[in-house]
């Protein structure tokens, strides 16, 4: 693991690191905020998954999470959204596909399947690396994210309820199978058979029997992607008749930006802290 940068913040440490990833077959970069409590004891860890076109840096620079994370004693890990490098397949003119658009899945179609294995990276490889180098209590993990990252967080939680104790999302893509900006990527990553898409679709996972105790979703009503790409009401409909809890908060005038995310970041950190103990 290489140290790219380390800076003191709120008596904790904000670091950026890189390592050679076996899952993604390239060098991957991630950020970690270590609160002051982790100097002496293991602390809960909260994984933040960023959205389309983003890297680890977007939330690190604009998410405004460090003050509250330091107060609550939460370790925050911010992975990249996709594999990077000159040898990694990409579509340079398509922001919905390739680098920056890994969709937190394990691709099965060539040429993407060699590198685009973000599901394995997020759920297996990176946790093993983080637990080796930081004082992380791996029995107390939560996960959250924004947009594509919200999709990733919700699907990962639904498939791994024994690993994660909490999950929340900012403006998540709850039904990528029907959203206007994801079917093209799903087809290229996973093939044309939509049965292969269902393990990476929160609504489909619930329909197929996956369960998680509860979710917190914040969504802005001025979000330009709301009606065609995000559609949180579809998840609200999907969980009817199940024991899945949902707190869905719609916020007037808020859009899809980090101005929206930073406004409600404290609420999400407190939500997770209550459930992580």
Q: In angstroms, what CA-CA distances link 11 with 8, 67, 68, 69, 70?
A: 6, 9, 12, 11, 8
Q: Average per-residue pLDDT in the chain?
A: 97
pLDDT band at 63 (very low <50, low <70, confident <90, very high): very high
* Percent of the chain with pLDDT strictly greater than 70: 100
In the numeric block, which tokens belong to residue 91? Answer: 């579509």
| For residue 136, pLDDT beyond 90 | yes
Domains annotated for the chain, with CATH where assigned, are: 2-276 (3.40.50.1820)
Phi, psi of 211 (to 5 degrees): -140, 150
Cut 0.85: pTM above it:
yes
Digit-coded pLDDT (tens) for 100-123: 999 999 999 999 999 999 999 999
Distance in angstroms (rounded) separating the CA atoms of residues 155 and 216: 14
pLDDT of the residue at 58? 98
If phi > 0 it is left, if psi is from -120 to 50 it is alpha, else beta; for residue 43 that is beta
Q: 39 pLDDT band (50/70/90 cuts)? A: confident
Residue 149 has pLDDT above 90, yes or no: yes
pLDDT-derived band at 82 (thresholds 50, 70, 90) equals: very high
* Whole-number pLDDT of residue 102: 98
Q: What's residue 75's pLDDT?
A: 98
Average pLDDT of the segment spanning 197-220? 98
Confidence category of residue 187, pLDDT binned at 50, 70, 90? very high
Closest to 87 (Cα-Cα) out of 175, 43, 21: 21
For a pLDDT cut of 90, what percent of the chain falls above it?
A: 99
> Residues 6 or more apart from 187 whose CB is under 8 A from it?
none
The residues assigned a catalytic role are 147, 223, 256
Give 211-248 pLDDT, tens digit per residue.
Answer: 999 999 999 999 999 999 999 999 999 999 999 999 99
What is the pLDDT at residue 174? Answer: 98
Relative to beta strand 26-34, strand 75-79 is antiparallel
Q: Report the alpha-carbon distance of residue 142 to residue 213 in Å, rounded.
A: 12
Contacts for 241-244: CB closer than 8 Å, 24+ residues apart: 242/206, 242/211, 243/211, 244/206, 244/211, 244/212, 244/213, 244/214, 244/215
User: CA-CA distance, 247 to 15, in Å (whole number)?
Assistant: 32
Question: What is the reported pLDDT for 181?
Answer: 87
């Amino acid at each position: 693991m290489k140290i790219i940068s380390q800076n003191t913040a709120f008596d904790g440490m904000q670091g950026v690191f890189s390592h050679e990833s076996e899952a993604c077959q390239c060098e991957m970069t991630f950020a970690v905020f270590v609160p002051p409590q982790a100097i002496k004891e293991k602390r809960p860890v909260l994984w933040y998954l960023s959205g389309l076109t983003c890297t680890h840096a977007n939330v690190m620079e604009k998410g405004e999470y460090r003050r509250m994370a330091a107060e609550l004693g939460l370790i925050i890990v911010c992975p990249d959204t996709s594999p990077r490098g000159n040898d990694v397949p990409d579509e340079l003119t398509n922001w919905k596909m390739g680098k920056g658009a890994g969709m937190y899945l394990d691709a099965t179609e060539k040429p993407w399947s060699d590198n685009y294995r973000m599901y394995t990276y997020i759920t297996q490889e990176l946790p093993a690396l983080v637990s080796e180098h930081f004082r992380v209590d791996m029995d107390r993990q939560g996960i959250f994210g924004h947009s594509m990252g919200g999709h990733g967080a919700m699907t990962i939680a639904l498939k791994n309820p024994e690993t994660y104790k909490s999950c929340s999302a900012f403006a998540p893509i709850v039904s990528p199978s029907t959203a206007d900006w994801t079917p093209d990527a799903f087809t290229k990553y996973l093939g044309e058979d939509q049965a292969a898409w269902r393990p990476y679709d929160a609504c489909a996972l619930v329909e197929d029997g996956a369960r998680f105790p509860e979710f917190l979703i914040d969504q802005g009503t001025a979000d330009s992607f709301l009606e065609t790409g995000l559609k949180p009401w579809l998840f609200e409909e999907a969980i009817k008749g199940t024991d899945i809890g949902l707190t869905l908060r719609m916020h007037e005038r808020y859009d899809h930006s980090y101005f929206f995310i930073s406004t409600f970041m404290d609420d999400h950190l407190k939500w997770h802290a209550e459930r992580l103990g």
